Structure 1
Amino acid sequence: MSLPKELEKILEITREQNIWRRTQTLNLIASENVMSPLAESVYMSDFMSRYAEGKPYKRYYQGTKYVDEVETFTMELMNEITESKECDLRPISGTIANAAVFRVLAEAGEKALIAPVQAGAHVSHTKFGTLGALGIQHIELPFDIENINVDVDKSIKMIEQVKPKFVVLGGSLYLFPHPAKELAPHVHSVGAKLVYDAAHVYGLIVGKVWSNPLKEGADVMTVSTHKTFPGPQGGAIFSNNEELFKQVSRTIFPWFVSNHHLHRLPATAVTAIEMKYFGEAYANQILKNAKALAEALAERGFKVIGENLGYTKSHQIAVDVREFGGGNKVAKILEDANIIVNKNLLPYDKPDAVSDPSGLRIGVQEMTRYGMKEDDMEDIAELFKKVLIDKKDVNEVKKEVIEFRRNFLDVKYTFEDIRDLDKYSTKTLKLLI
């Protein structure tokens, strides 16, 4: 019997996606990454069909003994590499992690201070997203455009005047660390809590190239597990405040999550182990590549944001592309050449420019994981130039991109052979095999 045409269609779409994004494109979306083959192999497991509402060993279903074991072990691993005391992996995204925290910290009508939207705050921090859905007032912190960061002195005054229930640092366009250490004492002095959304930089924190907010006074840190941390899509919550963590943990289920997509757990564990042994090398190379790409683009005539600050200290760079038609137009042109980036508001944009902002946000973490180094960033910058400055035929540049990408098809910073695991703990080996 031949395959039904409906089945053929969905298989073909999936095949084309895999070929295109895994072998033919430069993936420079700052919020994406790729799992290792080892992590992907345990992602596809019986866990994906099962339910485990509640917490380990306190479930509302039977048949969860191995779920309990893998969830507990994965939380232990995550706490180890994060240098934290408490971890909850049940949020299925960073947005859900934020929602659970915000719900505990403020009631409807109460106030929260966040970074400005056009300066990088994630939509979940705002009245347009999770904060608004919970009815919590969204008030923006003062921002220093010259330093592309929250203005510390003005923010201290605002915290003292407004007396919010909580303050949110961290963001989506995120070139430099936000001032957790400087603001934490002032947040706490008015009885508020400091939330640090480290979704984008969690892998850099684990890799020890970005300061750990929990060590700088943050009461709780929310993360995504699929950006600079190269695991499966999902979220997590960390804290060293046991009492606050208990309140947040009790809120995740049943308020925001029922079943928490159990196949994420072993894949997250594998990624945590990879980051334990390779994370510092990976994170250091991400920073080198981001800096190299920023400099290479600037040398070719692009307006890269933050020149006076060294462009970036994260996996991201931001480029003003108004002279080429704006973020929306340019992102589409680059996609035609198989270069995948996203349009993005820049700090001086108005919030309502979200559909056609001034800039592009570019992230190097995925291409770094495929083995690219600083010299390869020069090649990427040259491809940008050919498309946008030299106005070369986009299909010809696309061919160059495909040829260039052929050199980077294998995931690095992972265990290339399962036998490599023999040197590590029996418990780890048992989990992965």
Structure 2
Amino acid sequence: MVSWDEILARLPSEVREVIETTRAHNRWRRETINLIASENVMSPLAEAAYLNDMMHRYAEGKPRKRYYQGLRYVDVVEELVMKYMGELLGGAFIEPRPVSGTIANATVFRALASCPSSEGRPKALIAPVQAGAHVSHTKFGTLGALCIEHIELPYDPDNLNVDVDKAVKMIEDVKPVFVVLGGSLYLFPHPVREIAEAAHSVGAKLVYDAAHVLGLIVGKRWRNPLDHGADIMTASTHKTFPGPQGGIIATRQEDLYKAVSRIVFPYFVSNHHLHRLPALAITALEMKYYGEAYADQVVRNAKALAEALAAEGFKVLGEHLGYTRSHQVAVDVREYGGGAKAAQLLEEANIIVNKNLLPYDPPDAIKNPSGLRLGVQEMTRWGMKEDDMREIARFMRRVVIDGEDPAKVRKEVVEFRRNFQKVHYAFDVDPTENGKLLLLY
């Protein structure tokens, strides 16, 4: 049998460079501790389902109402995605066509707010960026591109959350078209019920961006915003929810569902990357059967990592609040040179994190903010538990606080990571036979 290396040797050098770089990335990532809060891994079965002929096909429109032929099986899979995701979210209508969480946000914002008129720009209230709001919520992103006026909600730095009393007063005074909760630096639940009641009292809608916590919501370790007054929810499908990259919109209001469905196509999406749909359906079923155990361990691991980092000498935000109730941990590393320096040193030790603004940082500190944002969901998926979080904290202390050579720590990280090579909380099947993906044949 001809080896893979022999096959590569026959190919043009340009082809070899692409393949070898991709292989190097894949090998390297299995040697790293990934703490990026917006990433995850699919199971082998979901990955196999992702590689399918649908990636070559086009499907403008909705199931059974397409502008192209040849989509009888695509329609079935898309309907299954809508069914399974709707069940996970308590009977919601699901719009699965946004190809990212940002596109989901854009769709909802455009559906709720018309273009500027003689009465001026429509207004939206959001949390401050440095307090967690995603850039798509702001004048610097999707909201600004749609000419919607961006107004920041009051923030309570002591509780690392929206200031409820001041926010209610602002909603009553401003009378926005909609209010956005949810975020990307997100340690504690936002006050959904209180803000929803205030928004509804002035005829506004409450949008909840659950991109980061969708997996915790369907795993019943984070409250479902649709149960507490949110009118509509957007989310990514690849963060705590461990599916393929993409976005969804969920609502229990049929009129609102129809409105966003009319907007997503043709405004923001034409073809919606069909090959991700089977993988999304598989992941939804994994979350149906294993989601509660997974989400429970994610929350336990985040708490354990935060406590361990504090014990190792790091300044971890939210001590008086129990540090975190999500998958995330926020750490202030100003005294060690800032987030950019710490993140670079940790990457040299094969620990992947991202620098991040903290609530007291000015927006212009984005290039070297005070903090690091850590997420434990991927390492939980690889099978890590609380004791492993404590080991990670020790690695981080040696690099950032002790100033130990990252190359030395990297060798130990690689050895540690070898113990975690199987995806957990998933169907335990091998989707290959004699090296072939069974779903392709």
One of 40, 43, 47 as aligned partner of 1:40: 47
Written as runs of structure 1 = structure 2, the 5 A alignment for 1:101-112 is: 101-107=108-114, 108=116, 109-112=121-124
User: Which residue in the other structure is 1:423 paired with?
Assistant: none
CA distance in 2, matches of 1:353, 1:88: 36
User: Which residue in the other structure is 1:120 paired with?
Assistant: 132
1:104-142 per-residue CA deviation (whole Å, 9 max, x = no partner) reads 111231100000010000000000000000000000000
Is the 1:287–1:314 Cα contact (8 Å) retained in structure 2? yes
Written as runs of structure 1 = structure 2, the 5 A alignment for 1:33-432 is: 33-107=40-114, 108=116, 109-417=121-429
- SS of the residue 2:206 aligns to: strand
Q: Between Structure 1 and Structure 2, how many residues are aligned? A: 422
CA distance in 2, matches of 1:84, 1:306: 34
CA drift of 1:418 comes to 6.5
CA distance in 2, matches of 1:389, 1:148: 25
- SS of the residue 2:124 aligns to: strand
1:257-297 per-residue CA deviation (whole Å, 9 max, x = no partner) reads 00000011000000000000000000000000000000000
Is the 2:243–2:283 Cα contact (8 Å) retained in structure 1? yes
CA distance in 2, matches of 1:163, 1:32: 36
- 1:79 maps to a residue whose letter is G
CA distance in 2, matches of 1:128, 1:168: 15
One of 9, 13, 21 as aligned partner of 1:5: 13
- 2:42 maps to a residue whose letter is M
One of 31, 34, 43 as aligned partner of 2:38: 31
Is the 1:203–1:230 Cα contact (8 Å) retained in structure 2? yes
CA distance in 2, matches of 1:410, 1:333: 27
- 1:15 maps to a residue whose letter is R
Aligned-residue RMSD, C-alpha: 1.4
What is the TM-score normalised by the length of structure 1? 0.96
- 1:307 maps to a residue whose letter is E
CA distance in 2, matches of 1:418, 1:342: 33
- SS of the residue 1:417 aligns to: coil
CA distance in 1, matches of 2:315, 2:440: 46
CA distance in 2, matches of 1:11, 1:54: 35
What is the TM-score normalised by the length of structure 2? 0.94
CA distance in 2, matches of 1:361, 1:175: 10
- SS of the residue 1:221 aligns to: strand
CA distance in 2, matches of 1:261, 1:347: 36
CA drift of 1:84 comes to 3.0
- 1:6 maps to a residue whose letter is E
CA distance in 2, matches of 1:219, 1:327: 36
CA distance in 2, matches of 1:242, 1:163: 24
CA distance in 1, matches of 2:122, 2:402: 53
Q: Which runs of 4+ in 1 moved over 3 A?
A: none
CA distance in 2, matches of 1:418, 1:297: 37
Gaps of 5+ in 1: 420-430
1:336-369 per-residue CA deviation (whole Å, 9 max, x = no partner) reads 1110000000000111111111000000000000
Identity of aligned residues (%): 69
User: Which residue in the other structure is 1:424 paired with?
Assistant: none
CA distance in 2, matches of 1:244, 1:273: 26
One of 17, 21, 24 as aligned partner of 1:16: 24
CA distance in 1, matches of 2:320, 2:362: 23
CA drift of 1:417 comes to 2.5
- SS of the residue 1:195 aligns to: strand
CA distance in 1, matches of 2:263, 2:207: 16
Gaps of 5+ in 2: 1-8, 432-438
Is the 1:84–1:214 Cα contact (8 Å) retained in structure 2? no
Seen in structure 2, the aligned counterparts of structure 1 residues 309 and 432 have a Cα distance that, compared at 3 Å, is farther
1:345-400 per-residue CA deviation (whole Å, 9 max, x = no partner) reads 00001111111110000000000000000000010000001111221111000001
1:119-167 per-residue CA deviation (whole Å, 9 max, x = no partner) reads 0000000000000000000000000000000000000000000000000
CA distance in 1, matches of 2:430, 2:292: 21
Is the 1:270–1:432 Cα contact (8 Å) retained in structure 2? no
- SS of the residue 2:75 aligns to: helix
CA distance in 1, matches of 2:357, 2:134: 11
1:189-244 per-residue CA deviation (whole Å, 9 max, x = no partner) reads 10000000000000000000000000000000000000000000000000001111
Is the 1:170–1:178 Cα contact (8 Å) retained in structure 2? yes
Is the 1:84–1:238 Cα contact (8 Å) retained in structure 2? no
Is the 2:45–2:429 Cα contact (8 Å) retained in structure 1? no
